Structure 1
Amino acid sequence: MTFFLRLFPLLFLLLCVAACSRPAPNLEPAQQPAEQLAADFMVSVACPHAAEAGRAVLRQGGTAIDAAIAIQAMLTFSEPTESGIGGGAFLLYRDAASGTMTVFNGRETAPMAAQPDRFTVLGQPLPLPLAIPTGAAFGVPGTLALLWDAHQQHGQLPWTGLFGPAIEAAETGIPYPPALLQRVRADYSIQFFGDLRRHFVYQARGEAPVFRNAELAETLRRLAQEGPDHFYRGELTDEMVRTARARRPFRSDITPADFEAYRVKQQQPVCGSYRGYTLCGPPPPSSGGIAVLQILGMLESLDLRRYQPDDPEALHLIAEASRLAFADRFLYLGDPDFTDIPVQALIAPDYIRERATLIDPARAMSDAFAGDPLRIIPEQEELPIPDEPESQGTTHFSVTDRYGNWVSMTSSIEAPFGNRMMTNGFLLNNQLTDFTFRPVFDGQPHPNAVAGGKRPRSSMSPFFVLDSEGELRLIVGSRGGSRIIGYVVQTLIGVLDWDLSIQQSAALPNMVHRGDALELEAGTPYEALRPALQALGHRVRITPMQSGVHGIEWLPATAQYRGGADPRLDGVATGD
């Protein structure tokens, strides 16, 4: 009885979170900013203050990694509902001197005590909105450790100075960022969480509100002086543990030992070819690299260049390829430290061509099943893939420096406002809700089931595009939960197939298919395509879709960088 009395307030919040955590509808088609060009370096990020912090570092002679630290520190203050030091990240880096590419995997880890039934009650999975605002959703954050490791290897300016712009802004205040203000005013559920109400709602009052965070300024000052030890082995560790373990029901079982054991992983990207280019993205536990390569690989033989971006036949082909990739994503992908993942088999050209034969240009599939790259599943055991709802937080930024180094980084606290807990001025993540809530599928442990020390599957998709000579031509990524994969695919198609600039491609209306329905962005010209897509056999859903595509192109003909920022946010591309 005590358990259910404690559960009742969260059941009420379930309705509030479900109703209020979605982005507000786009009432007008996205308007693209003016094209941004630069000769020496460029930053593209979802917040002008973060863009300026990164540019200031680059002007001082800093590297792209130095700039990434300054940008992420500022985003922890100015875009706190999407990412921050309380979350995790994937950073894709290319070193100019060696030409090598490295993925820094700062994905969160589950506490060692975590069990597969973490998000089930009486054998049934919890509704996602009920699981989000719990201590059980909190994983050991990896963003700060990632930035530290990257700086140790590729930084040039002192670590201590890179937090200065964020500290100053948090102490003195800035005009309340428009995207953050819209998020706060649209999400009534944060009224039920005292820290969020005091920090976000109270400061949002008035016609010209100012946003400050003195507590975060002090936290960043300590991190600048003491490095990651303060976060993973110090007073701040204890504060995060106490905060996560205090909320009931579904309290956290995280311990200081889980923090001390955390390590960033350095991995090789997964790469494939498309239209003569080499595309590289993150490997598992991110599903983004494999899924994007699969989708584009299936589409290559269908020649999207003969269509316009608003042609329903083109959207149909992209949707069908996406459905097949998402089926494979569900069945095979998780943390490679805990399950064998046939990475190379899933992106092998022969397998992708075989999957492409399932796409009918004239009709949508009735069901999309996972494939069998290892030839181990009997045909009669094809299984429908269940839907797994996911939240839509996250941010992405792209950086290039005067030395020719490139960074594409996606970071997140998962849902907007994370697990709706704050400590020391920043929000904690709810990334463990990225694990599957049904730990067994077809009688077998699911590769993305919860386990102690495991990293949940992600959709983050920071990507590099290299030309036939191995030179970087484009970097890109997006926010948006599992929709990230579709946003990145559409942006790459816009640039590589439809000859759009990165800015024009980022401003396209959004369309995504994650296996359940073909989603079209509300308030855009794509709404008019609904009848034609339904005639092709699709179940179509019109819904708000707040992408956050930020990328940079290299234009060899003019020796310039060209930046693109998603017009749905406060983003900006800027450089010198």
Structure 2
Amino acid sequence: MKKLCTFLALFLLIPLTAPAHAKDHETKNAGTAASAHPEATKAGFEMLQAGGSAADAAMAMMLTLTVVEPQSSGIGGGGFFLHHDAKSGWMQTIDGREMAPASAESTRFLDDEGKPLKFIQAMPGGKSVGVPGNMRLMEMAHRKWGKLPWAKIFEPAIRLAEEGYAVSVPQADWLKRLERLWVNFPAAQALYWKDGAAAPAGTIIKNPELGQLLRELQAGGADAFYSGKTAAAISAAVANAPRSPAEITAEDLANYRAILRAPVCSTYRIYKICGMGPPSSGATTVLGILGAIERFDMTELYKTEPAKAWHVIAEAMRLAYSDREKYLADKDFVAVPVDGLIDKDYMTERSAMIALDRARPQLPGVATYPAGNPPGSSPRTAAISSEVAGTTHFTAVDGEGNIANMTSTVEGPFGSQLIARGMVLNNELTDFTFAPEKDGAPVANRVQAGKRPLSSMSPTLVYDSDGQPILALGSAGGKRIIMHVTKTLIGVLDYGLSLDEAMALPNIYFGGAGVLIEKDSDLISLQTDISKFGHIVVTSGLPSKLAGAQKTEKGWIGSVDPRSTGQAVSELP
């Protein structure tokens, strides 16, 4: 458990208690910040102690992660932002997902023979880069909910870029894995290699070019990102990429807009659960899984027959993901039956496909876990996207009870491997389905100019029966994000665990015909029992980077995944 309810002043360099002469907002509960990196958490809490809002804290974390966790997220990528306003009780969401440039065609990731490229062929270089969205997202969030001056929010990130930060163990691991690929990416080498090799953990990295970029954004706002010197640098990096050069024009960047979208919400038992709508598949799939297990007494199963509880979760997971693959995409381009997917009658119909005593049988020529026909859907072909594990999540709650909950990404580790003005550029376009057609029908998540690729990012808020927020969370992990979030929700809402304990529950996913369970976890002892239901059970490394906060009798307390190097800091009343 990597949670601090009091500050380690030596590490965080922030006083636990405000001075006696401080203003009211400085002497009350400052709030909670949680992220996958201690420096980002420190930055978020610094904003809260300065009297900033949850949105200010979250944006400071986003900027700081650009510097210290570039393998996962940053201003060269995009994200989804959830906000709960304590005064009005309103929840709103911002879509800052990357967008395909005007040059993108449906054949973008096909080879000369018209076959889909392998991911490792498509990911590095210019073709995979989408127009970044995080700076427009930040601009909207600050305009709507910010309290501190725009310039203040940049201070921690600039400090770390110019003065340096220590390479973390996870970052060093990714650098080592990418060492051979980076032979062709000298700009990345120049930043993250030392003495001709990947920088080991503990190495101090300075990024003055990124620091200068952040100073320009600090002074000029988001427009300084989407025009002028920075826009030209992004275009040049993509056009001159050592692999798969492509085109992102000044017009592509100037035309990007963050979008205020309606949240997707439904009930689960006595709770209301809300998340992000398309192009995120998070909320609909999380709610689909929960809707399918709602008829089961999960609390009792967990206590008396835990293998059966995991069996039910595995069945619901595979049914909900089959709907995800068939129906989810950017709803500005494709009619997505969002209401139908979370319709209670439809979820009851899907739940009826789960047998308590056995897994669904594999029949010749029949999909074991078929997609359904939710209300409002039209005939469509399912196709799997190439989304890979990556991303980051962070949560902030301020002293007034406002909540900012954001998942941010550059997609895969170090995105496209391209650098522009010190920032990593994303490879989000590989989240599109590479094959534009399947069985003669167009694929919903195919590449199209101006379209936002499907995502599994699942920032989530939970409200109790009185309509009060009690839980905020999200995770990294590519398509596994949905399951990391869902098992945590089940842990808190059904099993009565604290958020810390629920995050620590074993991870579960699927692959091929098998159910994947986390190796070196408590689930290993249940592997044989789960197999008895007819599942092929395979152990696998299923890392996660959950972060979030839970409302307790003492106040909001932050939590982070014990598998991560993250940190949560909470100052209680």
Paired with 1:92 and 1:514, the residues of 2 have a C-alpha distance of 30
Equivalent residues, number? 539
1:185 lines up with 2:176 in the alignment: yes
1:319 to 314, 317, 320: 314
Deviates more, 1:386-395 or 1:345-354: 386-395
Deviation for aligned residue 1:171: 1.0
Kept in 2: contact 1:36–1:564 (CA 8 A): no
Write the deviation string for residues 377-399 of structure 1: whole angstroms up to 9, x where unpaired.
79xxx98x555443111000011
Cα separation, 2, equivalents of 1:375 and 1:85: 36
The answer as to whether partners of 1:37 and 1:561 remain within 8 angstroms in 2 is: no
- The 2-side partners of 1:298 and 1:207 are apart by 44
1:219 corresponds to which of 195, 213, 221 = 213
Aligned to 2:13: none
Secondary structure, aligned partner of 2:194: helix
Residue 371 of structure 1: aligned partner: 372
- From the superposition, tell whether residues 567 and 376 of structure 1 become closer, same or farther in structure 2 (CA, over 3 Å): closer
What is the aligned counterpart of 1:231 among 222, 225, 237? 225
Match of 1:335 among 317, 330, 339: 330
Give, in whole Å, the separation in 2 of the partners of 1:529 and 1:130: 38
Q: 2:38 aligns with which of 33, 37, 48?
A: 48
Q: How does 1:115-514 map to 2 (within 5 A)?
A: 115-121=105-111, 122-192=113-183, 193-202=185-194, 205=199, 208-247=202-241, 250-308=244-302, 311-365=306-360, 366=362, 367-374=368-375, 387-513=384-510
Percent of counterpart pairs with the same letter?
A: 39
Q: CA deviation at 1:360?
A: 1.3
Report the CA distance shift for 1:539/1:196 in structure 2 as closer, same or farther (over 3 A).
Answer: farther
Give the superposition deviation at 1:302: 1.3
SS at match of 2:393: strand
Q: 1:214 to 1:553 in 2, by over 3 A?
A: same
Partner of 1:10: none
Other structure's SS at 1:407 match: strand
User: Could you tell me how far 1:190 is from its partner in structure 2?
Assistant: 4.4
Maintained 8 Å contact 2:328/2:445: yes
Partners of 1:77 and 1:451 in 2: CA distance: 31
What's the CA shift string for 1:224-278, capped at 9, x where partnerless? 0111111101111011111111125532222111101100100111001112000
1:326–1:515 CA contact under 8 A, matched in 2: no
Q: Secondary structure at the match of 1:115?
A: coil
For 2:345, give the aligned amino acid: D
Contact kept, 8 Å, 1:398 with 1:476, in 2: the verdict is: yes
- Contact 1:522 / 1:543 at 8 angstroms: preserved in 2? yes
Maintained 8 Å contact 1:552/1:562: yes
What secondary structure sits across from 2:388 in the alignment? coil
1:33 is matched with 2
Report the CA distance between 1:181 and its aligned residue.
2.2
Residues 339-369 of structure 1: CA deviation (Å, up to 9, x unaligned): 1111101100000000000011222223111
**CA distance in 1: counterparts of 2:323 and 2:5, whole angstroms:** 38
Residue pair 1:191, 1:201 contacting (<8 A) in 2 also? no
The residue aligned with 1:562 is 557
Tell me: CA distance 1:201–1:307, structure 2 relative to 1, closer, same or farther (3 Å).
farther
8 A Cα contact 2:124 2:244, kept in partner:
no
- Which residue in 2 is equivalent to 1:78? 68
Is the alpha carbon distance of 1:416 and 1:311 closer, same or farther for their aligned partners in structure 2, counting shifts above 3 Å? Answer: same
Alpha-carbon deviations, 1:508-548, whole Å to 9, x = none?
Answer: 22112367532212232323333333332223332222211
Please tell me whether the aligned partners of residues 172 and 200 of structure 2 are also in contact (alpha carbons under 8 angstroms). Answer: no
| Counterpart contact for 2:80–2:94, Cα < 8 Å | yes
Q: Given the superposition, is the C-alpha separation of residues 159 and 135 from structure 1 closer, same or farther in structure 2, using an over 3 Å criterion? A: same
| 2:370 partner amino acid | F
In the aligned structure 2, how far is the partner of 1:215 from the partner of 1:199? 10
Distance 1:345 1:516 in 2: 27
Secondary structure at the counterpart of residue 429 of structure 1 = coil
| Structure 1 stretch displaced more, 452-461 or 227-236 | 227-236
Cα pair 2:514 2:537 within 8 Å, conserved = yes
**Distance change in 2, residues 1:536/1:189 (3 Å):** farther
- 1:379-436 deviations in Å (ceiling 9; x for gaps): xxx98x5554431110000110012110110000000110111111111000011111
Identify the range of structure 1 (246-255 vs 96-105) with the bigger mean alpha-carbon deviation: 246-255
For 1:129 and 1:420, locate their aligned partners in 2 and report how far apart those are by CA, in whole Å.
12
- The residue type paired with residue 403 of structure 1 is E
Tell me how far apart the structure 2 counterparts of residues 168 and 269 of structure 1 sit (CA, whole Å).
35
What is the TM-score when the length of structure 1 is the normalising length?
0.90
Give the Cα–Cα distance (whole angstroms) in 2 for the partners of residues 185 and 155 of structure 1.
39
Over 3 Å counting, the alpha-carbon distance change for 1:474 and 1:123 in structure 2 is: same
Code of the aligned partner of 1:444: A
Residue 495 of structure 1 contacts residue 501 of structure 1 at CA under 8 Å; is this kept in 2?
A: yes
CA offset digits 1:135-169 (Å, max 9, x no partner) = 11100000111001110111111101111111111
Instruction: Give SS of 1:271's match.
Output: strand
